[in-house]
Amino acid sequence: MCGREDRIAELQPEVSQALADYRLPETLGFGVEMAPVMYRSEYYDGEWKSGDLLPFADVSVNPASTALQFGQQCFEGMKAYQVESDHPMLFRPNLNFRRFQKSARRLCMPEVPSALFAEALSSIANAMQPHMPGGPGQSLYLRPTLFGLDPQFAVKSSERFAFLVLASPSDAYYADPIRVMVERDDCRAAVGGTGAEKVGGNYGASLLATERCIQKGFHQSLWLDPKRRCNIEELSAMNFMAVVDGALRTPELSGSILDGVTRDSLLEIARHSGIDAKDTDIPIDEILQAIESGRCSEAFACGTGAIVCPISAIGESNGKEYPLPEVNQMASTLRRALLDIQECRAPDPFDWVIDSQNSQVLAEYLEK
């Protein structure tokens, strides 16, 4: 693969123009500011075709496509950072790649080869290199997306697919501590369904509960296991962690929650620094009691978008609230340790950060 200068020289004039015209706004928010470029490739006749960097624009999708009719779609959320480095660095993209493949298989879609995934990430991150936000917690959020293109009303898989990588210069998802409401009626995903994959339907199924909890003054729903509504699962776009008797606890991977990259990274960082950190069943009633008795000192959410986000209270729809006594003790220590690695301020003992420049090197890393 070619280097950055060759690649930029090869860009189509419309892409170069879109990049030249782009100005990073002063305030970003999360996932609302779209990068001026995107990557697109298509699958047909049984193979992935080589892709292109294009100006960001609407795409034409057949209204009868399997993506729109049956939700044959999956995506990923990952970040490139350029704070202490000269070019965009990706954080554990191999885990996002693996999860993307798993989601694609679950929705009966062809896996995207590592070379194509790497080429897409590398070309968009390199093109955005002059426009990378570098403030605290800021990054280029990357959204690989895969969906079925064939128009048909019979419930069967497409044979043509589109793979896009979109990008959004972003702040962290939440700036302040959040209040979460236990969701005791709906569930977002069942074991054997698609909860352990990152597919659009999971998020669609969470929207109504989110609206209800916002109306009651909360930010996010806290989902329980779909069968018994007893154990904590996760939030709609983040995993859940709590500090109980000084130890870090997070729900184990039940088959209906997402295997978060941030969750895994925080568990490793915590263990590396000698903290007792474990994934286990976390019954909601026990956590609420532990908050009342003072044994649970802290709870927080974690995910690529939010990084680490303290939870200031857990509430019920009947108005009962359980405020957390310490809002940001272990959460801030872990957040700092994680961001120091992501933003290349601290050594990376786990080999988690990889330069996005060379797509061949990146493709090899994706296979790790």
Ligand X SMILES: Cc1ncc(COP(=O)(O)O)c(C=O)c1O
Q: How far is the CB of 238 from ligand X (least distance, A)?
A: 5
One symbol per residue from 60 to 89: x for binding ligand X (CB under 6 A), - otherwise; what is it?
-----------------x------------
Report the residue number whose CB is nearest to ligand X: 260
What is the Cα–Cα distance from 341 to 54, expressed in whole angstroms?
Answer: 31
Q: Does residue 226 interact with ligand X by CB under 6 A?
A: no
Answer yes or no: are the C-beta atoms of 112 and 101 closer than 8 Å.
yes
Which region, judged by CB under 6 A, interacts with ligand X, from 123-131, 176-184, 254-262, 285-293? 254-262
What distance in Å separates the CA atoms of residue 243 and residue 290, rounded to the nearest whole number?
10
Chain-centroid distance, C-alpha 163: 17
CB of 319 to ligand X, least distance (A): 26
Least distance between ligand X and beta carbon 30 (Å): 12
Neighbours of 6 (CB within 10 A): 9
- Quick check: 267 binds ligand X (CB under 6 A)? no
How many residues form the binding site for ligand X (CB under 6 A)?
12
Query: Could you tell me the smallest distance in angstroms from the CB atom of residue 239 to ligand X?
Result: 5
In this chain, which of 238, 275, 287, 341 binds ligand X, going by CB under 6 A? 238
Angle at which helices 114-127 and 93-106 pack, to 10 degrees?
130
> Residue 60 carries which DSSP code?
-
d(CA 43, CA 163): 8
The 116-155 site mask, x for binding ligand X (CB under 6 A), equals ----------------------------------------
Q: What are phi and psi of 309, to 5 degrees?
A: -130, 115
Q: Which residue has the tokens 């970003």?
A: 28
For the bound state, the minimum distance from the C-beta of residue 338 to ligand X, rounded and expressed in Å, comes to 10
SS3 state of residue 65:
strand
Which segment (25-33, 131-139, 258-266, 341-349) binds ligand X by CB under 6 A?
A: 258-266
Candidates 123, 210, 239, 297; binder of ligand X (CB under 6 A) is 239
| Cα–Cα distance measured from residue 239 to residue 353, given in angstroms and rounded to the nearest whole number | 21
Q: Is residue 303 near ligand X by the rule CB under 6 A?
A: yes
Closest CA to 178 of 339, 288, 301, 307: 301
Residue 63: which residues within 8 A CB-CB, separation 6 or more?
A: 151
Minimum CB–partner distance for residue 206 and ligand X (Å):
8
By C-beta, is 145 or 239 nearer to ligand X? 239
List of residues contacting ligand X (CB under 6 A): 77, 234, 237-239, 258, 260-263, 303-304
